[in-house]
Amino acid sequence: MASHHHSLLSFAALATTFSIILLCSFSPIGALNGGFTVDLIHRDSPNSPFYNASETHSQRVAKALRRSINRLNRFKPTSSVPPNSLQTDLISDSSGYLLNYSVGTPPVPKLAIADTGSDLIWLQCKPCIKCYNQTAPLFYPEMSTTYKTVSCTSSLCKSPYNSCSIDGTRCQYSVEYGDGSFSEGDIAVETITLGSTTGHSVTLRKTIIGCGHNNNDTVESKASTGIVGLGGGKASLVSQLHSSIGGKFSYCLVPSIYPQDNTSSKLSFGSHAVVSGFGTVSTPLEYKRSDTFYNLTLEAMSVGSKRLELSGSSGSGGSKGNIIIDSGSTLTSFPTEFYSKFESAVAEEINFERIDDPSHLLSLCYNNSDDIDVPNITAHFSGADVQLNPGFTFVSVTYGIACLAFAASEPSIFGYLAQSNLLVGYDLVEKTISFKPTDCTKL
C-alpha cells in the first residue's frame, strides 16, 4: 500500500484565465506541508442543489429528522437481510454535509455526502443497470482516461465488501443500507480532485473508488448522490491520504439546519487540521487501524448542575469506546435507559408544560412561544468536557414546536447537531479527538 500512497498526491493549480489545469509535481509530503481545506455545504442549505425553496423550514427539519430516525432504525437487528448479501457499516442518514469534488479526466463535478460513519468513496456510474435520479450528470468511466478497474487478486480487493465479477476480471463492491437502498459496482482506481478554499485544487491520483452500476435508493434518501467516506477503514479518503496528511483532519460545521445564510462549513486536512489554543479539550479516540467508526468514551452528561453517569462494565464512568462520533448523523442517541434519565433531567430544568411532537419524531417538546431557557448541556468525554451549543440541543420540528434533538437508540452516536460550532480535530496518529468552541461561520 505504501507505494500507492506516494503516487497519490500532487497539487493542481487552477489557472482560471485559461481554464487549464496545470499539474505541478511537488513531492506529496512537501505539497501537503500546508495542508488544505475544502468547503462543505449542508444538504438543506440554500446553495445546495437539494434545497427546495418551496418547502417550509419545518418541513425541511422534519425531513432531516425522519432521515436521521430511519438511519437509527437501520441499526436494529434485522432478519430480512439476505444471508449472502454483503452487509455494510454505512450509518449516514443522507442528511449532513456535501462535499464538492471532481472525478476522472477530464474532471466531472460531483457532490457527495462527507461521512465519517463509512469508508468507501462511491458514486453512480453509467451504464446503469439501475440508477436513481440525480441532479448532476452521471459519471461515464469510459470517457475518463484515468479510470482503471482493479483485478480480483489485487491487494485493493480485500475488503469484506468486495467480490469478483462473474467473468472473474474485475473486483466489485456492494454496500447496503438497512432500509433497502444499496449500491453495487466496480472497484476502480481513478483521479479525484478536491477544490481547496485557497483557490488551488488538490488532485489525488489512483484513489480507490466504487463505481456503482446498480443503485437503489429509498424515497427519503433520494437526494444522496454518493458518499465520500471519511471513516477509519482502508478504503476511506482519510486512510488513502493517511501518510500525506499525517493522519489529521478536522471539520467545523455551520448548523445549516437553520439555513439563514449560505456560509459553508469547512473540512481540513494535514496541518490545516491542527486544533489547538484557548478552550481546546482532547479525548482519546478508541479506534483500531482500519475500523470504520471513530469511538469516544462518554463518561457522563450534565444537565445544568446535575451530572448523570453512564454506567460501564466496571461500574460508572462509561465503558471505553461507548459512543461513535459521526458527521453523517443528525441526532445524538443514547441507550434507552440512559436516554430516559437524560430526558427527565432536561425536563426537570424546564418549567413549562410538555407538548406532543405532531410528527412523532422526537420525544421532549415544548411550545416555542413559551420563553424556554434551555439548560446548559455538557458531554463529559474522557478528559474532555464539551459544552454543547444551547442553540442546537433543541430543534424546531414544526412551526412553533421545539424538541430535544436526542433520541434513544443503540449504538450511541454523537451527531452533527451536537457538534455545531465546534472545531473538531481528528488525529489518527496520536489517537485523539479535540474540540474547540468556534463560530464556524467565521472560519
Binding residues vs ligand NAG (CB under 6 A): 46-47, 49, 52, 54-55, 59, 100, 109, 111, 133, 180-181, 195, 216, 218-219, 261-262, 286-288, 291, 293, 295, 321, 324, 355, 367, 369, 373, 375-376, 387, 400-401, 411
Minimum CB separation of residue 373 from ligand NAG in Å reads 6
Angle at CA 358, nearest 5°, toward 370 and 325? 85
Q: State which residue, 10 or 216, has the beta carbon closest to ligand NAG.
A: 216
Q: State which residue, 63 or 156, has the beta carbon closest to ligand NAG.
A: 63
Minimum CB separation of residue 215 from ligand NAG in Å reads 9
Angle at CA 157, nearest 5°, toward 155 and 158? 80
Residue 115 is among the residues annotated as catalytic for this protein: yes
Q: State which residue, 163 or 218, has the beta carbon closest to ligand NAG.
A: 218
Q: For residues 68 and 317, what is the distance between their CA atoms, to the nearest angstrom?
A: 28
Kind plus residue range of the DSSP H or E element containing 308: strand 306-309
State the SS3 of 185-251: EEEEEEEEEEEECCCEEEEEEEEEEEEEEEEECCHHHCCCCEEEECCCCCCCHHHHCCCCCCCEEEE
Estimate to the nearest angstrom the gap between the alpha carbon of 134 and the chain centroid: 20
Q: State which residue, 85 or 316, has the beta carbon closest to ligand NAG.
A: 85
Q: State which residue, 150 or 413, has the beta carbon closest to ligand NAG.
A: 413
Minimum CB separation of residue 376 from ligand NAG in Å reads 4
* Residue of 323, 298, 256, 294 whose CA lies nearest to 118: 294
Q: Which among 119, 217, 326, 357 is annotated as catalytic?
A: 326
The grid coordinates listed for 364 are: 421532549
* Residue of 71, 185, 38, 36 whose CA lies nearest to 415: 71
Minimum CB separation of residue 163 from ligand NAG in Å reads 17
Burial string for 382-406 (b: 16+ CB within 10 Å, else e) reads bebebebbeebbbbbbbeebbbbbb
- Placement of cell 437481510 in the chain: 81
Q: State which residue, 373 or 439, has the beta carbon closest to ligand NAG.
A: 373
The grid coordinates listed for 383 are: 478528559
Q: Which among 115, 119, 186, 357 is annotated as catalytic?
A: 115
Minimum CB separation of residue 8 from ligand NAG in Å reads 21
Minimum CB separation of residue 23 from ligand NAG in Å reads 17
Return the residue nearest ligand NAG (CB atom): 321
The grid coordinates listed for 220 are: 427519503
Active site residues: 115, 326
